[in-house]
Structure 1
Amino acid sequence: MQSRPRIQIGISCRNLPTKLRGSYAKFSVAHGGFLHEKHVTETELQNNIASPIFITRLNLEYYFEEKQIITAEIFQCEQEDREDSHLLGFVQCTVGRVIHSGGQVEQPLISDEQQKKYLKHADPSMPTTVVVCIREDPFYKENICLKMQGFNLDKKDFFGKSDPYVTIYRRNERGKLQKCCRSEVIKNTLFPDFRPIPICLDKLCGGNIDCELYFRCFDWDGAVGDSEEVDTELDDLIGEFTTTVSDLLRADENGLEFKLINPPKKRKKKYYQHSGLLNVKLYFAQTKYSFLDYIFGGTSINVVVGVDLSNHAAAAQLSKTRQIEMAQSCNEYGVAIQAVMEILQEYDSDQLFPAFGFGSKLSTGGKICNKYPLSGDANNYFCKGMAGVLEAYRRSFDVLHLAGPVCFSPIVRDVSETAKRNKDAENYYVLLILTNGTVDDWIETKKAVIEASFLPISIIVIGIGGGNFSDMEILDQDFGLLKVGQEQACRDNVQFVQMRRFLRMAADGTDNLRWSKVALAKEVLAELPSQMMDYFERSHLAPSHTVPGQPRLLRNLADPIWWRQFTQPFSSPVRGELNTSSETKQSGMDTGRLLEEREEDQPDHPQSVVPVVQAPATQSRPLPDADPSYRLGERLTSNVHLTSVRCLSASLVGESSGPPRTTHRVPSVRSDDTNTNPKDRGNPFPNVRRQMSLGPAFHSSTSGRKLPGAYEQVSRKPSTSEK
């Protein structure tokens, strides 16, 4: 099971008053039910600096399915013990918003009248701001491969060659050896070339790159049959050696070569040298990306809401007065919308959400609507944020009567038509459907869901009430992919949750019931990151923009100076955001006959091109199969992510004239490739120095250590293929 990603949060300030001796920050991250789980830290004291960059960071796990709120308070004091501290103000933001903004958000300091007295000594021409930076901890990313290759190993079998494999150990907190990873068994060879092992540094060294790793090479005896199950107590030891992750990180692209020493043979033989050589090297897997790489790189999660307004129990038809009362109350529909969209709206650039109702009948004319805009405006069916969707839902009962049938396929195909135009890593679509019963167009719905599985779409279905949800269980595909005739879904992109499972007793001890929105959001959004990664990996899509703050070379991870700059602000901070208008975003949602007519009438209608100025840290990354003439302006869609537009200084704008350089991403990395990505070598802004950021500051050693005694490094011999 893949470990949960971890992030590091850093704080810096701009234009603080310098009258007092120093300043420091106290910041916390709250999440969970009632935000009771908190991670709090206090930075070091920065002496008399107007724009301090605090070194102390907060390291914590990232929860996509929870709302994590960052609160940073800025203090100033005169004494070292901080007893005379004065609060200057605070800022507050969410982890999701900072990550979706490219890893950095700058906000003005919020202060009351009492606190503003201390800010009057600052520069009046500039506001006092706080910069919150978030980076993904590279020690927990599985984008590093361990490659091992043996040369001239000892022969252990009487009738054949050895069957070698390598096991790596490190000592835990108790001082006992703990297995980190193991290679596969390669039979009947003395020159094994093991497959690369994807691994994260935390699993390999526990976050301490100076801890010793024990490499032990065994000969598999096959004592348990033909399977590759190994038993180190029964298998013969070929040889062993020790090294550190720090030494491996500082090695060149050829890695390091070690002598395998067999202690019993060394004690018995006077002129014993070694039992073979093992070459070990670490390198970046350039095609391996994490979920946060896509969010940092500009992927926007676009939410479309569909509300089932039908009533399957015709005898229990509600009066209009009762409908209005139900809409005004905090019913199950409102709780479900609030629980899910409160999380997902942080990952949408403009927070404009299409919201539709279906299975309803208009009060004027009595026409059944399979897709009615909850906003009431057929020309603009976007709602601003979660609050706008809730308000539009509550107003819909003034013009709608509950009726059947219930058809899912129109709204699913509607989203599919939009996703077909944006099959890149910049946009991913989530269709949230709230239903209270079965589906009447069952076959068409299954076909629409199968088609959506090949597109960047995930479907979340929340069952409201106590109806029959057997059809929804089939759509969930937990027990098999959906299939209709010869058509079959390529992946599971549907998540179904029944609302009634999240009723809880009130916390005050009364008999009242309440909804657990935190538990509902966890259940509903638990599979969304894996569904997104499944689509991106199947489609071979890289992040749309270069992920900021990532190490370019493996040796950066062993450099304390590089780690010190981990959460420093970028040289060109983001100061603005380009929001897409509802009219532009709406154009991509028109489907059906109207869409076909528009395409026939305007076949050569050019796509709108937005001028873009890119900072070095956010240089656009083309798709793997992109044409060399593929221009950046042609890739911009209606939903422009805020990291696509950077507000740079006037000098930077002047230096960045000309079309952006287009490169191709290397589809795969062999064991002999270097650790640098060819597309990241060029700097389109040569006069602007790139600032590298990322990582804990506990790596203090800068010099490589020599291997002790018999485990000395030797020059690498050419492999058989090289000979």
Structure 2
Amino acid sequence: MDNVNLYTDTVNVNQQQIIFNYDYANNDKSLGKESNAMSKVELRLSCEELPNLDSTSKTDPRIYVFFEERRFQNDQVSTNWIKIGSTETIQDSLNPEFTQSFVFDYYFEHIQNLRFVVMDMDDKVNMEDNDYIGYVDTSLSELFAVAKDNVCRYPIKNEVPIGMNFKKSSGTNSKTPILSISIEILKDNNLYAMMNISGHHLDKKDVLGKSDPYFVISKKTADGRWLKVYESIIIKNTLNPQWSKIDIPLLQLNSGDDKKLLKFDVWDWDKNQDPDYIGGFEASFETIKTKKEFELINEKLKEKSDKKAAKEKDKKKKDDSKNKYQNSGVIVFDSIDIKEDMSFSHFSLGGTEFDIDFAIDFTNSNGEPDQKTSLHYINPKFDPLDFYSMNEYQKAISAIGYVLEPYDSNKLMGVYGYGGCFNKSTSPSFAYPLTNDEKNPKVYGTRGVLDAYTNSLKNVALYGPTNFAPMIGKIRDMCKDNVSKASINGHRTLLRYNILVFITDGTITDMEETINEIKKATLYPMSIIIIGVGKTDFTAMKKLDGDDRTTEYRDIVQFVPLNEFVGDPVQIARETLAEVPFQLLSYARKNDVYPPFAVQNAAKTTEKKE
């Protein structure tokens, strides 16, 4: 069972706006992707039909707001509810509307649970000594998904939450008290850079040709690591390449900080061997926007040249500066435009639904489920609420599912199996619904996915091979109606965005077919996440980034080996889901689609003016 603690206030409540930013980077020192807030959101609170707990007057309500911090260490889970502040107290009101608001950084890849505790204040110093009315639990992601006209309404529960020392009031109320939470996007990180970049006089690396250059951009994290944020297309057989219309969200490029150090590395692509390094440079985006031209330096070549020059000097030979290493070419930023666009928050709050589908590996390389060495072995003490009682498939489902679940308003998720013989069949299937019903492949929530997976192990014969292409094609076909066919006010809307999650214990058998299916899928509103379980060498999975990188395909694939983060579901979710918002926005920009509510509201405004 979780260890539950109650923290004291972390901010000053004597202000009109309480700003709370949980420092994910500082509170999770393990390696992995950097967490970037998608936007800042403001919550405002009001209540209706509160019970009257005062004998001579009405209730004096005040709401305390808590943020759930969960830590996963040494196979133990600890939960701390951080009290971040409270509203003001409103005297004698059963339908209070509070002035105090709360501002949070919103992250797609994190579960940001909130608790709202409603109290009737009796001028007692300790919060717990006042009269308890009730509480509401929700999350930022749920608020984005279920809000109607940017407002969520919740019945207030009068039970006392576990770990909190409130005294349940004896008062009764014939009506159900309601907490209303209004949500507003204050600031979006929705700027992106549109750039034209060219290379000049790059080093020749190919014996029978010139070079096949491409570049990689990385940003430096607070702990000194370099994180890859962008990889360009390959331009073949040239020493003077031109990359046009490169668009990168600033949040992805530099975490919204123009002073953050960036690293540009230019490589020569080779089909059957590792790429050759041409050269690179380091600079902040602030510097890049002003300087615009940078020499590419290959440190190995420079060091070799310097040593040769030193020897020449020792021998008192004539200095031949013309042959001395200068650079390996020049990169020029021909144009940089900073543009503003719809943010991911606008889509998640604006009516775009997320359809989640899990595809689970039932090939025989997993080992028979009744053997303890099997990746499908179910712990006799398995508890769906205990992450550390799960096998690796269950951990992957749990870590991803609980983050994504709130973004689908009906919480229905598809669950499929591939590579096994299902339901007494003697032939393997590669897109089999684990509900055993082709017309109804969805189950309710992450718990439903876990149950469907566990039950399927009783009626499946592990087989093979590991084919991904049929499943990708199936979900791609489902995406054809994700964008409205008719336009509203001149704009089409993104109704749904699909996320397909593969969990596999081995490398793909139908690699070429899968790559072709991925290329087709890049034209549709979908992302593909692949989680590798077990100790297999997953090096070949890198091919899924695209075999033909001379064409600008939208990046929709993210692969993560579970064994690097198996002890921490927060890390698993962050590694696998951090790219999804950027992938959605990339599709929206390329296809000129908008959130449904935003377009509908714009159309209503136009009608009123007319």
Q: TM-score range by the shorter chain?
A: 0.5 to 0.7
Question: What residue is the counterpart of 1:23 in the other structure?
Answer: 61
Question: What residue is the counterpart of 2:118 in the other structure?
Answer: 74
- How far 1:133 moved relative to its partner? 2.2
Instruction: Pick from 526, 529, 543 the counterpart of residue 578 of structure 2.
Output: 526
Name the stretch that deviates more: 344-353 or 16-25.
16-25
Distance (Å, rounded) in 1 between the aligned partners of 2:435 and 2:61: 49
Give the structure-1-normalised TM-score.
0.51
Q: Does 1:104 align with 2:151?
A: yes
- How far 1:141 moved relative to its partner? 4.7
Question: What residue is the counterpart of 1:426 in the other structure?
Answer: 495
Distance (Å, rounded) in 1 between the aligned partners of 2:407 and 2:289: 46
Structure (1 or 2) with the greater strand fraction? 2
C-alpha change, 1:227 and 1:22, in structure 2 (3 Å) is: closer
Distance (Å, rounded) in 2 between the aligned partners of 1:465 and 1:73: 43
- Give a deviation string over 1:226-284, Cα, whole Å, max 9, x none: 99539xxxxxxxxxxxxxxxxxxxxxxxxxxxxxxxxxxxxxxxxxxxxxxxxxxxxx9
- Give a deviation string over 1:281-338, Cα, whole Å, max 9, x none: xxx98x721110111111111101100110238xx66668987981355100000000
C-alpha change, 1:37 and 1:495, in structure 2 (3 Å) is: farther
- How far 1:77 moved relative to its partner? 2.4
- How far 1:64 moved relative to its partner? 1.2
Question: What residue is the counterpart of 2:28 in the other structure?
Answer: none
Question: What residue is the counterpart of 1:466 in the other structure?
Answer: 535
C-alpha change, 1:482 and 1:133, in structure 2 (3 Å) is: farther
Where does 1:243-282 land on structure 2 (aligned, <5 Å)? Answer: none
Contact 2:38 2:108 in 1 (8 A): no
Instruction: Pick from 426, 436, 446 the counterpart of residue 386 of structure 1.
Output: 446
Q: Does 1:41 align with 2:106?
A: no
Contact 2:42 2:184 in 1 (8 A): yes
Contact 1:324 1:397 in 2 (8 A): no
Structure 1 residue matching 2:435: 3-state secondary structure? coil
- Give a deviation string over 1:54-110, Cα, whole Å, max 9, x none: 111222211211111111111112438687621111111111111111332211111
Question: What residue is the counterpart of 2:44 in the other structure?
Answer: 10
- How far 1:681 moved relative to its partner? 4.7
Q: Does 1:289 align with 2:342?
A: yes
Instruction: Pick from 219, 229, 240 the counterpart of residue 291 of structure 2.
Output: 229
Contact 1:309 1:358 in 2 (8 A): yes
Contact 2:369 2:375 in 1 (8 A): no
- How far 1:38 moved relative to its partner? 3.2
C-alpha change, 1:100 and 1:31, in structure 2 (3 Å) is: farther
Distance (Å, rounded) in 1 between the aligned partners of 2:606 and 2:425: 64
Q: Does 1:346 align with 2:406?
A: yes
Contact 2:418 2:432 in 1 (8 A): yes
- How far 1:377 moved relative to its partner? 2.9
**Higher Cα radius of gyration:** 1
Q: Does 1:298 align with 2:336?
A: no
Name the stretch that deviates more: 362-371 or 523-532.
362-371
Q: Does 1:498 align with 2:536?
A: no
- Give a deviation string over 1:109-141, Cα, whole Å, max 9, x none: 111496453344xxx3x3211112222213x55
Where does 1:389-408 land on structure 2 (aligned, <5 Å)? Answer: 389-408=449-468
Paired letter, 1:473: K
Paired letter, 1:136: I
Q: CA RMSD in A?
A: 3.5
C-alpha change, 1:59 and 1:105, in structure 2 (3 Å) is: same
Name the stretch that deviates more: 65-74 or 359-368.
359-368
Structure 2 residue matching 1:292: 3-state secondary structure? helix
Question: What residue is the counterpart of 1:680 in the other structure?
Answer: 605
Question: What residue is the counterpart of 1:212 in the other structure?
Answer: none
Instruction: Pick from 408, 414, 417 the counterpart of residue 477 of structure 2.
Output: 417
Structure 2 residue matching 1:368: 3-state secondary structure? coil
Paired letter, 2:595: P
Paired letter, 1:29: F
Paired letter, 2:378: A
- Give a deviation string over 1:356-389, Cα, whole Å, max 9, x none: 1010124624221122211223442211111111
Paired letter, 1:444: E
Distance (Å, rounded) in 1 between the aligned partners of 2:51 and 2:368: 66
Contact 1:451 1:489 in 2 (8 A): no
Paired letter, 1:492: D
Distance (Å, rounded) in 1 between the aligned partners of 2:458 and 2:190: 53
Distance (Å, rounded) in 2 between the aligned partners of 1:227 and 1:12: 46
C-alpha change, 1:398 and 1:446, in structure 2 (3 Å) is: same
Distance (Å, rounded) in 2 between the aligned partners of 1:385 and 1:227: 46
Distance (Å, rounded) in 2 between the aligned partners of 1:17 and 1:319: 55
Q: Does 1:89 align with 2:134?
A: yes
Contact 1:29 1:40 in 2 (8 A): yes
Question: What residue is the counterpart of 1:132 in the other structure?
Answer: 181
C-alpha change, 1:294 and 1:365, in structure 2 (3 Å) is: closer
Distance (Å, rounded) in 2 between the aligned partners of 1:416 and 1:75: 50
Paired letter, 1:16: L
Distance (Å, rounded) in 1 between the aligned partners of 2:559 and 2:142: 26
Distance (Å, rounded) in 2 between the aligned partners of 1:118 and 1:363: 55
Distance (Å, rounded) in 2 between the aligned partners of 1:141 and 1:228: 22
Paired letter, 2:445: G
Contact 1:297 1:546 in 2 (8 A): yes
- How far 1:35 moved relative to its partner? 4.5
Contact 2:422 2:432 in 1 (8 A): no
Instruction: Pick from 488, 511, 517 the counterpart of residue 448 of structure 1.
Output: 517
Question: What residue is the counterpart of 2:23 in the other structure?
Answer: none
Structure 1 residue matching 2:364: 3-state secondary structure? coil
Paired letter, 1:474: K
Structure 2 residue matching 1:483: 3-state secondary structure? coil
Q: Does 1:332 align with 2:403?
A: no
- How far 1:443 moved relative to its partner? 1.2
Distance (Å, rounded) in 1 between the aligned partners of 2:480 and 2:500: 15
Contact 2:38 2:345 in 1 (8 A): no
C-alpha change, 1:80 and 1:500, in structure 2 (3 Å) is: closer
Paired letter, 2:178: T
Distance (Å, rounded) in 2 between the aligned partners of 1:540 and 1:108: 39
Paired residues, number = 406
Where does 1:155-194 land on structure 2 (aligned, <5 Å)? Answer: none
Contact 2:51 2:133 in 1 (8 A): no
C-alpha change, 1:470 and 1:324, in structure 2 (3 Å) is: closer
Paired letter, 2:66: S
Instruction: Pick from 104, 111, 117 the counterpart of residue 60 of structure 1.
Output: 104
Paired letter, 1:53: E
Question: What residue is the counterpart of 2:279 in the other structure?
Answer: none
Paired letter, 1:393: Y
Question: Alignment identity in percent?
Answer: 24
Structure 1 residue matching 2:560: 3-state secondary structure? strand
- Give a deviation string over 1:167-215, Cα, whole Å, max 9, x none: xxxxxxxxxxxxxxxxxxxxxxxxxxxxxxx999xx99xxxxxxxxxxx
- How far 1:143 moved relative to its partner? 6.8
Contact 2:70 2:80 in 1 (8 A): yes
